[in-house]
Amino acid sequence: MQHVYKPSAIALALVLLPATPDIAIADNDILDPVVVSASRQPQLVSETLASAIVIEREQIERAGGADVGDILRFHAGLDVVRSGGPGQQTSLFMRGTNSDHTLVLVNGVRINSATTGGAAWQNIRPGNIERIEVVKGPRSAIHGSDAIGGVVNIITRAAPEGHFLEAEAGAGRYGTREGRVATGIRQGDTHMSAGIDVSDTDGFPVREDENDDRGHDNTTLTFNAGTRLGGVQVEGDIWQSTGTNEYSAFGGVERSQDYRNQTTRIAVSGAPHDLLHSRLALSRADDNLQQNDSDTFSHTRRYSADWQNDLVLTADNRLTVGAFFEREDVDSTSFGDTETDTASVYAENALETGPHRLTVAGRHADHDDFGTRNTWNVEYGLHVTERTRLSAGVGTAFQTPTVADRFGVGGNPDLKPETSRNMELGVHHRIDSNRLLTASAFYNEVEDLITLEVDASSPTGFTAENVEEALIRGVEVAYVQDWNQWRVRGEAILQNPENRDTRQQLARRAERTATLSVTRSFGDHWLNLNALRSGGSEDFAGDLPSYTLVNASGRYQFDHNWSITARLDNVFDEDYFTASADNAPQVFFNNPGRSFFATLRYEIN
């Protein structure tokens, strides 16, 4: 299918609330949270030279949703695409890059699938997530392969000071039933928390031309603990998502599969010298699929070791050096058993002098099948005033083909790694203590982009190929205001993701997107509105029309312990599509219609 590129323009409007008094800005407040994924060191968003978003626990609760994709979609530049209802394949296209160009971490552990390349977003429940960090732009120098479009780091809950207990139960449309329990304690340097989140839904037909519902169930477990032994900090965490997903195979035949996604991490850190801090993290990630109607399976185990050393050279100069090793073992009925090792060394230097801030990072990786790869980032920031910072950056990234790209159905063993170079200009302006305006322009060239090309000799009719180059250009703006009982966030992006060879728009990526989030608090109660306007995009089967999605939610707090939350998704019952299934005639994957959910909650803290 030829993708027709349609030039267009968008007017970016910001909703400004009445100005507030100009008072001193706190070092760390709701408009300036800490982010740990943009660099090898924790930073305030105002100090981060990359484009970064932090979605805090409060925002996660107010957005609600069946999975993390329901939360991310209300941020411009994050195109969430679903191939049907609950539990069906879900993809994220960040700033116009491919769905496997975003590195996805849970507590810092990579969960990108070794077969599809992307993460199983549909299996990541939001109930026991503390915050989500989104960093846009290349981050291979910091995190390795996959980070061409950016990084999403999902951080599960850890106990606050003292103790807490939360229990909730809810239900809603499509036979959806949910329950969650979480508890934890923290005393001094020792903490421990655990949670279980269970959901089950009857779902709805995956495609327009089907009538049978396809259900999904999920059980998510989280555990987090840590303590200090002498001068050494020891911590560990586990995240596990298991369940069964019903889906439609070719011809509408009903099938189901069991899945398990899991991360396990243990980290030991300490300061052998006043100017040196060292940390060793060992982790394992599992991504397993087992078909229930056949013997087909895919099992991935990924082991990694990350040794990071932070050295304070001067009060304004910090150097980080480290080594990283990863072994990926994939066993599948499609292509057998494969094992791949990747060894890397990395370094990052951050220098701050007066109004100037400079960060330089580099990584040298040695891959079993693709040899050595070097990536780097250079970012410069200038505080022209106390409230205004200008930034400029350039960086490179790479993505190695997955084993499915090379050896699966429609695979190509001769594929080369994808590489990219990104340039970005940005401004971060703190209007006053309650209002923040950010804007950025980016230019991302991706070479040897892997796409599916029509191939009559292939059993599936297509084969994975490296196209010469893709070019993604864009501008995005965001405005945030926290004023009295109101909190407003508006974002918009205008982007041009195209195949440079054919001048066609890349599939399933909107050129224009705008989002708006408004929250009004009434003491312990609140009302929330999330809105998304997505411009039309292209797909393999033709045009995907533009759409508007509005979700509303609210909480009523009966007393200190009891509350009820209600959520109305797709308020205007928009009939919208983010992916097409077939071309002749054109058939789309369904999305949920107007849906009501209610949750009763009990908490002690």
Q: Within 13 Å and on the Cβ side, how many CA atoms surround 60?
A: 23
Q: Is residue 287 part of a domain?
A: yes
Who's near 437: CB < 8 A, 6+ residues apart?
A: 14, 427, 429, 431, 477, 478, 479
What is the 3-class SS of 442-469, one letter each residue? Answer: EEEEEEEEEEEEECCCCCCCEEEEEEEE
Rounded mean pLDDT, 560-587? 90
Range of the domain at 103: 34-169+256-604
Q: Is residue 149 part of a domain?
A: yes
Quote the percentage of the chain above a pLDDT of 70. 93
pLDDT category, 452, cuts 50, 70, 90? confident
pLDDT of res. 573? 97
pLDDT category, 461, cuts 50, 70, 90? low
Phi, psi of 581 (to 5 degrees): -105, -45
Has residue 16 got a pLDDT over 60?
A: no
Give pLDDT tens digits for 66-123. Answer: 999 999 999 999 999 999 989 999 999 999 999 999 999 999 999 998 888 889 999 9
Burial (0-12, 13-18, 19+ Cβ within 10 Å), 569: buried
Q: Is residue 355 part of a domain?
A: yes
pTM of the model: 0.92
pLDDT of res. 46? 79
Q: What is the CATH number of the domain that holds 419?
A: 2.40.170.20
Neighbour tally for 254: CB within 10 Å: 14
- Spatial separation of the C-alpha atoms in residues 74 and 597, rounded to whole Å: 19
Has residue 483 got a pLDDT over 90?
A: no
Give pLDDT tens digits for 424-450. Answer: 999 999 999 899 999 999 999 999 888
pLDDT of res. 48? 87
Average pLDDT over the chain, rounded to whole? Answer: 89
pLDDT category, 180, cuts 50, 70, 90? very high
Give pLDDT tens digits for 295-346. Answer: 999 999 999 999 999 999 998 999 999 999 999 999 988 778 889 999 999 9
pLDDT category, 14, cuts 50, 70, 90? very low
- Structure tokens, 571: 């308020």
pLDDT of res. 17? 32
List the one residue out of 370, 379, 470 whose CA is nearest residue 420: 470
- Structure tokens, 482: 């926290």
pLDDT of res. 13? 30
pLDDT greater at residue 367 or residue 463: 367
pLDDT greater at residue 217 or residue 507: 217
Rounded mean pLDDT, 173-201? 96
pLDDT category, 364, cuts 50, 70, 90? very high
List the one residue out of 215, 322, 230 whose CA is nearest residue 276: 322
Q: Is residue 440 part of a domain?
A: yes
Q: How many domains, in total, are found in the chain?
A: 1
Q: Is residue 566 part of a domain?
A: yes
Has residue 477 got a pLDDT over 90?
A: yes
* Strand stretches in 354-505, DSSP E: 356-367, 371-383, 388-399, 418-432, 435-454, 462-483, 486-499, 504-505
Has residue 278 got a pLDDT over 90?
A: yes
Per 3-state DSSP, the chain is made up of helix, strand and coil in percentages (nearest 5) of 5, 60, 35
- Helix (H) / strand (E) element for 533: namely strand 525-534
pLDDT category, 460, cuts 50, 70, 90? low
Q: Is residue 250 part of a domain?
A: no
Quote the percentage of the chain above a pLDDT of 90. 70
List the one residue out of 299, 247, 300 whose CA is nearest residue 82: 247
pLDDT category, 5, cuts 50, 70, 90? very low
Beta bridge partners of 266: 236, 282
Residue 334's SS3 state is coil
Give pLDDT tens digits for 488-525. Answer: 999 999 999 998 888 888 889 999 999 999 999 999 99
- Spatial separation of the C-alpha atoms in residues 598 and 529, rounded to whole Å: 16
Q: Is residue 359 part of a domain?
A: yes
pLDDT category, 11, cuts 50, 70, 90? very low
